[in-house]
C-alpha cells in the first residue's frame, strides 16, 4: 500500500498504515514518538494535542488520511533538554506539574496560543487551556509557567 | 546472621530490617537506595533522594533510587494515606544514618582514629575535615550490610541539614516536559502484544454468546480472542486493530446474570435504608445529656471517581515459569500476593515492578489492569502483553469513592458550644484494595471466582469511612457512630482523603451553623474551642493571609468561608479560606491555605501537593458525582463526569508553618482536601444566606437553595 506522506517535527515521513489509523497511534506506534499521550480517545482531554499546520488539534480523533501532506509538531519537536523551548524551560522553572501526564498536550496548546497571541492575559491562557484536562491540580503553576514563557519569548524575540 | 528486629524501629524498617534492602554501594561513586514507596505524581522520589543524600552525606546526584519493586526494594505496603514521608521517609532516614555510622565505625577502627574525629563529605571519609583517601566505595567490601538495623544511630540534627528542607526540583519532571519515556504507558517490549478486555458488565455476569466475526470485522486486521470463563480479551500486535475491535465488542457480547441496579442509588440517602455493620467509637453519651439546646444536621456526597487523566495500563510476560509484571499501582507486594492467589502461582515466581502512570489519587484501575495483563500473559507464554484500559472502562469499572451520609448531632452548653458531639456516618467501604480483602476484576471473571470481599473496615484512628469523623475541637464528649453498608451498587474503594472529605465538610459546616446560632464570627467561634496550639496557629495564619474580616454580610452573592482539619488527626494540619461568588453557579475566586506539616523535606513539593489538593477538592465540591443507570456507572467520559477546567480554577496561595522546625514530618498529600470542600460549602452558605448540605454544589442545588432562602 502506498504510504501517507507528511512532515513530522520538520522531517518528511512516509507512513504505511491504514488511512483510518488515528494520528495518535501513528505517532506513538509507527513513529515511536511516545511524548504525545493517549487520554480519552474521544477528543475531550487534550492529552494527545499536536499542532497540525500550526493549529492545535487532538490527534486521537484525526485519521491519518486527513493529515496527508500536512506538517505536524509534537512535543518532541518543541525542544530538547539541550535546547529547551522557553515553554519547557518555564515549566521546569515553575515546577509546573505533578504526575506530568497532561503536560505534553498542555505545552502544545500553550505553544499554539503564544504563536498567535504573544502577550495573553491570564484569563486568555486559561481559556486556551480549557481543552486540556489536568487532574492533579497543577493548574496554577501551569498558568504561571505560560505567563513566564510568554514574557521570556517577548523579551528575547522568540517565535 | 542475626535477624532479630530491634525494638522501637519505624514500622517499615522493622518489617524490612536488613540494611542492604535499603542501601547498597554498587558502582563506584553511586549509592543504590531503595524505597518501597512509589511515585504517583506526588514527588516522593525527589523527597526520598533528598532524605538519603542528607543522611548519607552524599550529593543527591549519586543516589540511584529504586522504588516499588519486589526484586529490589523493601516491602512498605501501599503508597497511600499520606504516609510516605511520615513513615517511609523516616524509616529510610534511619537506615541511611545507620549505614553511614557503620562506615565511620569501621574507618575509625581501621585507621586507629577516634570515631568523633571522622566525618563524611560527599561519600568520602574525612578526618578533621581532611581527606583520608577512603570513601564508601573503597570500604564497601569490608562492611556487610546484610544485617538487621539496630535503630540506635542518632540521625542528623535538623540544624545541620543542607539538602532536606530545600526545594529540590522534581527528578522526574524533565522527561515529562520533553516527551521522553516516563510512563508505563510508554513502555515497549520486544514482541509485545496489545490487549483490551471486554468487561463483565456487572459482578457475576456470565457470557451467553459472542459474535466473534463482528468483532473481527471491526478490527480490520488480525486479532485473537482470548477467553477463560467470563474473562474475555482481544489481543493482537496492532494496537489500532485491537482498539477498534474492543470499541465495538461490548455490543457483540450477550451476558446472562446482569443484575440491574437502582439509579436512585447515585444519591447517598439510599444508604440510610440499608442493612449495616454498626460500631461506636469514643465517649459514651453524657448522662444526663446537656439540655441547653441541641443542633443536628445531615450532609451527603455522591460517589466520586478518581478520574485519572488517562486510563490504567499493565504489562506482563510469563516466561520459563516466571511471571514479570509492570504496574502503576500503589503497592507492588500486595499486588503480587493477589496475583499469586488469582493465578495459583507461588509468589516467588512473580516479580512486580512499579512504573509511573497518570496521577493516582487512590485505588483506581491500575491493579486490575496489571491483573488483566498477567491473566493474558499466562495464556500466551513468552509474549509480553500490554493492556491499556479504555477511557470508558476506567470510568465505568475502576472502584469509586463511596457515597456517604454524615449526620452531626450536638448538645450545646449555655455558651452555644457543644458539650456532647456525635458524628454518625453511613458509607460503603473505602478499603477494597486487592491486598486488603478486595478482589481483582479479572479474578472475578475467571472460573472459580473468589468470594465477594467481606464487609469489614477498621474504624479506629486513622480509620477509613470514619477518618476525621472526630473533630479536633475541645468538646467534653465526642463519638463516632459508623454504619458500614456492605452492599453498594458499584465497587468502592479508597480515594484521596477517604471518609475525611465528607466528614470534614460535615463537621466544619456544622461549626459554621453553630457559630451562626451563637451570633459569632465563624473563625472566632472555632478558636474558642480549639486548644491544640498547632491547630490554632494554622487557623490564625490563614486568617492573616486572607485578611479575614468578621461580620461580612451574608446573602450578597459573594462570600468567604473557612475550613480546618488535621488530616487523620495525626498528619498535617491545614486551614483553608476561600472567596467565592455565586450567580447561578458557584465560582471559587481565591483560596488561601496555611499548613503545618512538621519538618518538610521539600517545601515546594509539599506546597505543590497542598495546591493540587485544593484544586482537586474544588472540583469535587462543585462538580463531581458518579452517575448511575440500571447497567452501572453511566458517566463514562469527561462530559458525563466533568472536572474543573483551567478557566474555573481559583488563584491559590499556600504557606507552610515553620517547615524547618525540628519536629517529625507529617503527611501532607491529603491534608488540604477536606478543609477546601468545607470552606467552599461555608462560603456558599455565606454568599447565598442559605446552606447546601449535599455535594456537589451544582447549579441545580444553588437554584433550589435560593428558592428556599
Domain B404-430+465-708 in CATH 3.40.718.10: no
Q: Same domain for A60 and A98?
A: no
B164 to A110, A124, B153, B167: CA distances (angstroms)? 34, 38, 18, 8
Residues in chain B: 709
Q: Same topology for domains B185-258+306-397 and B404-430+465-708, yes or no?
A: yes
Are A95 and B604 an interchain contact pair (Cβ–Cβ within 8 Å)?
Answer: yes
Residue in A18, A42, A130 closest to B647 by CB: A130
Judge if A106 and A71 occupy the same domain: no
Q: CB-based contact (8 Å) between B354 and chain A?
A: no
Question: For chain B, what are the domain ranges?
Answer: 11-164, 185-258+306-397, 404-430+465-708
Instruction: Tell me the β-bridge partners of A55.
Output: A52
Considering the domain architecture, whether residues A38 and A93 belong to the same structural domain is answered as no
Write the residue in B185, B388, B612 that is nearest to A98 by C-beta: B612
Instruction: Tell me the pLDDT of chain B averaged across its residues.
Output: 95
Q: How would residue B504 be classed by pLDDT, with cut points 50, 70 and 90?
A: very high
Q: What is the pLDDT of residue A2?
A: 78
How far, CA to CA in Å, does B88 sit from each of A44, B79, B460, B570, B662? 37, 9, 21, 15, 18
Nine-digit cell string for B61:
546526584
> Could you tell me if A57 and A119 lie in one domain?
no
- Residue where a domain terminates, one of A48, A77, A106: A77
List the single residue in A with minimal CA-CA distance to B238. Answer: A29
pLDDT single digits (tens) B593-628? 999 999 999 999 999 999 999 999 999 999 999 999
Q: Are residues A69 and A113 in the same domain?
A: no
**Residue A22 is part of a domain; what is its CATH number?**
3.10.20.30
Give pLDDT tens digits for B513-540: 999 999 999 999 999 999 999 999 999 9
Q: Summarize the confidence of residues B78-85 as an average pLDDT.
A: 90
Q: Taking a C-beta distance cutoff of 8 angstroms, is the pair B496, B673 a contact?
A: yes
Quick: pLDDT tens for B13-28: 999 999 999 999 999 9
What digits encode the pLDDT tens for the residues B172-200? Answer: 999 999 999 999 999 999 999 999 999 99
B358 touches chain A (CB under 8 A): yes
**pLDDT surpasses 50 at B1:** no
pLDDT recorded at residue B3: 44
Q: Is B105 on the interface with A (CB under 8 A)?
A: no
Residues A61 and A105 in one domain: no
Contact, B143 vs B106, CB < 8 A?
A: yes
With pLDDT > 90 as the criterion, what percentage of chain B qualifies?
92
Q: Å from B618 to nearest chain A CA?
A: 10
Of B359, B612, B651, the CB nearest to A101: B359
Q: Is A109 on the interface with B (CB under 8 A)?
A: no
Q: Could you tell me the residue range of the domain that residue A95 belongs to? A: 86-156
| pLDDT grade for B450, boundaries at 50, 70 and 90 | confident
- CATH architecture of the region B185-258+306-397: 2-Layer Sandwich (3.30)
Most B CBs within 10 A among A27, A135, A142, A147, hence the mutation to make, goes to A135
- A-chain residues within 8 Å CB-CB of B174? 81, 92
Whether A37 and A99 share a structural domain:
no
Residue of A nearest to B361 (CA): A136
> What percent of chain B has pLDDT above 70?
98
Instruction: Let me know whether A108 and A63 are in one domain.
Output: no
- Contact in structure between B79 and B68 (CB atoms under 8 Å): yes
- Domain end position, chosen among A50, A77, A104: A77
Separation CA B648–CA B643 (nearest Å): 10
The Cα of B387 is separated from the nearest Cα of chain A by a number of Å equal to 13
Which whole number is the average pLDDT over A88-107?
A: 98
Q: Is the ipTM of this complex over 0.95?
A: yes
Q: Please tell me the distance from the alpha carbon of residue B351 to that of residue A27, in angstroms, as a whole number.
A: 31
pLDDT in tens, B364-399: 999 999 999 999 999 999 999 999 999 999 999 999
Q: What is the pLDDT of residues B668-696, one digit of tens each?
A: 999 999 999 999 999 999 999 999 999 99
A37, A90: one domain: no
CATH number at residue A142: 1.10.150.120
- What residues 163-192 of chain B have any CB closer than 8 A to a CB of chain A? 167, 169-170, 172-174, 176-183, 185-186, 188
Total domain count, chain A: 2
CB of A153 within 8 Å of a chain B CB? The answer is no
**Strands B276-282 and B293-301: what pairing?**
unpaired
Tell whether the model's pLDDT for residue B7 goes beyond 80. no
Q: Could you tell me if A69 and A32 lie in one domain?
A: yes
Q: Within the 52-71 window of chain A, which residues sit less than 8 Å (CB to CB) from chain B?
A: none
- Residues A39-78: tens digit of each pLDDT: 999 999 999 999 999 999 999 999 999 999 999 999 999 9
Architecture of domain B11-164 in this structure: 2-Layer Sandwich (3.30)
B578 touching chain A per CB within 8 A: no
Minimal-distance CA residue of chain B relative to A48 = B310
B655 and A CB contact within 8 Å: no
Picking from B502, B585, B81, the residue whose alpha carbon sits closest to that of residue B302 is B502
Q: pLDDT band for position B288 (50/70/90)?
A: low
User: Is the Cβ pair A91, B177 closer than 8 Å?
Assistant: yes
Domain boundary among A47, A77, A107: A77
Q: What is the predicted pLDDT for the residue at B5? A: 60
Residue B32, preceding peptide bond in cis (omega within 30° of 0): no
Amino acid at each position: 500500500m502506498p504510504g501517507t506522506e507528511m512532515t513530522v517535527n520538520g522531517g518528511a515521513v512516509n507512513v504505511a498504515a491504514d488511512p483510518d489509523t488515528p494520528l495518535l497511534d501513528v505517532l506513538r506506534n509507527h513513529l515511536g514518538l511516545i511524548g504525545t499521550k493517549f487520554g480519552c480517545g474521544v477528543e475531550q482531554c487534550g492529552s494527545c494535542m499536536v499542532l497540525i499546520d500550526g493549529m492545535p488539534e487532538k490527534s486521537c480523533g484525526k485519521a491519518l488520511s486527513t493529515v496527508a501532506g500536512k506538517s505536524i509538531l509534537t512535543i518532541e519537536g518543541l525542544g530538547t533538554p539541550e535546547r529547551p523551548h522557553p515553554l519547557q524551560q518555564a515549566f521546569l522553572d515553575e515546577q509546573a506539574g505533578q504526575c506530568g501526564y497532561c503536560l505534553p498536550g498542555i505545552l502544545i496548546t500553550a505553544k499554539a496560543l503564544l504563536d498567535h497571541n504573544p502577550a495573553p492575559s491570564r484569563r486568555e491562557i486559561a481559556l486556551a487551556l480549557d481543552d486540556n484536562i489536568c487532574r492533579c491540580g497543577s493548574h496554577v503553576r501551569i498558568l504561571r509557567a505560560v505567563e513566564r514563557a510568554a514574557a521570556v519569548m517577548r523579551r528575547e524575540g522568540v517565535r | 546472621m542475626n535477624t532479630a528486629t530491634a525494638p522501637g524501629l519505624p514500622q517499615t524498617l522493622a518489617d524490612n530490617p536488613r540494611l542492604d534492602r535499603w542501601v547498597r554501594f554498587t558502582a563506584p561513586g553511586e549509592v543504590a537506595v531503595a524505597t518501597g514507596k512509589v511515585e504517583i505524581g506526588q514527588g516522593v522520589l525527589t523527597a526520598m533522594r533528598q532524605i538519603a543524600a542528607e543522611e548519607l552525606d552524599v550529593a543527591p546526584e549519586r543516589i540511584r533510587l529504586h522504588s516499588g519493586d519486589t526484586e529490589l526494594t523493601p516491602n512498605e505496603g501501599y503508597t497511600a494515606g499520606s504516609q510516605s514521608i511520615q513513615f517511609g521517609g523516616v524509616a529510610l532516614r534511619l537506615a541511611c544514618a545507620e549505614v553511614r555510622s557503620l562506615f565511620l565505625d569501621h574507618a575509625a577502627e581501621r585507621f586507629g582514629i577516634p570515631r568523633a574525629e571522622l566525618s563524611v563529605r560527599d561519600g568520602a571519609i574525612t578526618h578533621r575535615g581532611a581527606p583520608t583517601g577512603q570513601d564508601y566505595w573503597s570500604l564497601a567490601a569490608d562492611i556487610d550490610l546484610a544485617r538487621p538495623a539496630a535503630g540506635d544511630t542518632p540521625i542528623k540534627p535538623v540544624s545541620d541539614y543542607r539538602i532536606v528542607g530545600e526545594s529540590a526540583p522534581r527528578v522526574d519532571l524533565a522527561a515529562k516536559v520533553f516527551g521522553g519515556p516516563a510512563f508505563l504507558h510508554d513502555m515497549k517490549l520486544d514482541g509485545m502484544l496489545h490487549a483490551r478486555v471486554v468487561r463483565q458488565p456487572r459482578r457475576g455476569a456470565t457470557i451467553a454468546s459472542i459474535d466473534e466475526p463482528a468483532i473481527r470485522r471491526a478490527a480490520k486486521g488480525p486479532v485473537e480472542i482470548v477467553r477463560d470463563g467470563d474473562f474475555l480479551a482481544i489481543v493482537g500486535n496492532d494496537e489500532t486493530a485491537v482498539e477498534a475491535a474492543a470499541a465495538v465488542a461490548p455490543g457483540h457480547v450477550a451476558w446472562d446474570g446482569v443484575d440491574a441496579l437502582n439509579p436512585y442509588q447515585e444519591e447517598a440517602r439510599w444508604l440510610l435504608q440499608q442493612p449495616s455493620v454498626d460500631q461506636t467509637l469514643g465517649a459514651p453519651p453524657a448522662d444526663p445529656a446537656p439540655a441547653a439546646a441541641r443542633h443536628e444536621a445531615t450532609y451527603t456526597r455522591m460517589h466520586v471517581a478518581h478520574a485519572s487523566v488517562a486510563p490504567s495500563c499493565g504489562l506482563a510476560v510469563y516466561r520459563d515459569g516466571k511471571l514479570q509484571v509492570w504496574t502503576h499501582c500503589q503497592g507492588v507486594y500486595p499486588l503480587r500476593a493477589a496475583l499469586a492467589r488469582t493465578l495459583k502461582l507461588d509468589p516467588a515466581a512473580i516479580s512486580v515492578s512499579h512504573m509511573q502512570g497518570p496521577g493516582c489519587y487512590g485505588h483506581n484501575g491500575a491493579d486490575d489492569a496489571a491483573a488483566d495483563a498477567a491473566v493474558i500473559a499466562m495464556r500466551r507464554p513468552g509474549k509480553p502483553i500490554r493492556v491499556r484500559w479504555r477511557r470508558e472502562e476506567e470510568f465505568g469499572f475502576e472502584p469509586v469513592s463511596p457515597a456517604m451520609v454524615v449526620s452531626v448531632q450536638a448538645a450545646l452548653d449555655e455558651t452555644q458550644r457543644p458539650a456532647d458531639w456525635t458524628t454518625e456516618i453511613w458509607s460503603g467501604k473505602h478499603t477494597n484494595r486487592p491486598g486488603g480483602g478486595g478482589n481483582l476484576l479479572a479474578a472475578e471473571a475467571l472460573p472459580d471466582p473468589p468470594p465477594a470481599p467481606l464487609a469489614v473496615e477498621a474504624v479506629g484512628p486513622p480509620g477509613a469511612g470514619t477518618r476525621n469523623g472526630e473533630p479536633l475541637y475541645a468538646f467534653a464528649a465526642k463519638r463516632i457512630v459508623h454504619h458500614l453498608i456492605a452492599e453498594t451498587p458499584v465497587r468502592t474503594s479508597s480515594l484521596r482523603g477517604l471518609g475525611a472529605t465528607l466528614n470534614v465538610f460535615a463537621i466544619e459546616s456544622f461549626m459554621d451553623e453553630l457559630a451562626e446560632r451563637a451570633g459569632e464570627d465563624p473563625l472566632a467561634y472555632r478558636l474558642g474551642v480549639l486548644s491544640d496550639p498547632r491547630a490554632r496557629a494554622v487557623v490564625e495564619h490563614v486568617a492573616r493571609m486572607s485578611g479575614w474580616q468578621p461580620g461580612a454580610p451574608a446573602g450578597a452573592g459573594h462570600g468567604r468561608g473557612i475550613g480546618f482539619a488535621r488530616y487523620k488527626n495525626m498528619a498535617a494540619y491545614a486551614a483553608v479560606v476561600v472567596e467565592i461568588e455565586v450567580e447561578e453557579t458557584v465560582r471559587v475566586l481565591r483560596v488561601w491555605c496555611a499548613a503545618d506539616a512538621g519538618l518538610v523535606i521539600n517545601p515546594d513539593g509539599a506546597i505543590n501537593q497542598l495546591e493540587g489538593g485544593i484544586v482537586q477538592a474544588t472540583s469535587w465540591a462543585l462538580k463531581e458525582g458518579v452517575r448511575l443507570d440500571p447497567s452501572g456507572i453511566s458517566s463514562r467520559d469527561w462530559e458525563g463526569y466533568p472536572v474543573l477546567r483551567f478557566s474555573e480554577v481559583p488563584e491559590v496561595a499556600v504557606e507552610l508553618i515553620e517547615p524547618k522546625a525540628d519536629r517529625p514530618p507529617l503527611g501532607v498529600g491529603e491534608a488540604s482536601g477536606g478543609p477546601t470542600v468545607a470552606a467552599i460549602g461555608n462560603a456558599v452558605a455565606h454568599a447565598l444566606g442559605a446552606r447546601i448540605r449535599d455535594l456537589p454544589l451544582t447549579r441545580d442545588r444553588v437554584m433550589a437553595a435560593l428558592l428556599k432562602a
